[in-house]
Amino acid sequence: MIAYANELVTDPIEFEPYAGKLRLTYKKPKVGDWIKAPSAKSWEPGILRARIRDLRDHPAKRGPERMKKLHVRRQWRCMDKLLCQVCAHPAADPVSGLMSWLLPATAFERTGPQSGRTNAPPTCWGCIPKAMEECPMLLSSVSLCTVKQVRPAGVLADMYRPGLLRTLEPTGLNVFVAWDDYQRHRYALATSQVIELHGMRSVA
Ligand SMILES: [Zn+2]
């Protein structure tokens, strides 16, 4: 889940005219840069997703871990498929169907008595000890719960607005942008996917 130094990409971004408005784009766009909202109409451009390399299987090339950087595509895949962030196997318990979730306080926002939003992927029961060991900062502020269901919620994004002469100005880091908040999609560079957890129960 953590990105390695040489996986980080700093390709330049800019605003471009799109359907009568401006939207954020990489200067040299590639197919797959934009991610569609789950409920999007076909004409919605989607959200620009931050690029990243995948060098996990190349220890000689990947460089040191960058503890504060999530790997964008690995995080996305874990959320789409509900895979354990440590072993990448399905996180749901095969018997109960419940998913186990380690929730750092900084990556969780409560939305109801048994629900909340997070960009932390699930952790299967087998990997919970390892996850706690590898990430000691988790210990002080983490809660462990089971989750019945999840729903797509949106993304965390770095936000920009057009400046003078085709420049851009940052306006916020790690801002939550909901999938149905279409007006803000064109100003967002998504760095992780956020889902809403339902039927949460804390595990003592
Ligand atoms: Zn696991």
141-194: per-residue pLDDT in tens? Answer: 889 999 999 999 999 999 999 988 768 899 999 999 999 999 999 999 999 999
Give the model confidence (pLDDT) of 94-153 as tens digits.
999 999 999 988 899 999 999 999 999 999 999 999 888 876 665 668 899 999 999 999
CA 146 to chain centre: 20
User: Does 112 fall in a domain?
Assistant: yes
User: Does 82 fall in a domain?
Assistant: yes
In the reported structure, the alpha carbon of residue 124 is separated from the centroid of ligand 1 by a whole-number distance in angstroms of 4
- Percent of the chain whose pLDDT exceeds 70: 95
Instruction: Provide the residue range defining the domain that includes 78.
Output: 2-152+197-202
User: Does 28 fall in a domain?
Assistant: yes
In the reported structure, the alpha carbon of residue 158 is separated from the centroid of ligand 1 by a whole-number distance in angstroms of 29
In the reported structure, the alpha carbon of residue 172 is separated from the centroid of ligand 1 by a whole-number distance in angstroms of 33
For the chain, where are the E strands, in sequence order? 2-4, 13-18, 21-26, 34-35, 47-49, 65-70, 99-104, 108-112, 115-118, 142-147, 149-162, 168-178, 188-198, 201-202
User: Does 186 fall in a domain?
Assistant: no
User: Does 117 fall in a domain?
Assistant: yes
pLDDT of residue 67: 67
In the reported structure, the alpha carbon of residue 151 is separated from the centroid of ligand 1 by a whole-number distance in angstroms of 21
Structural domain count, the chain:
1
In the reported structure, the alpha carbon of residue 83 is separated from the centroid of ligand 1 by a whole-number distance in angstroms of 8
User: Does 37 fall in a domain?
Assistant: yes
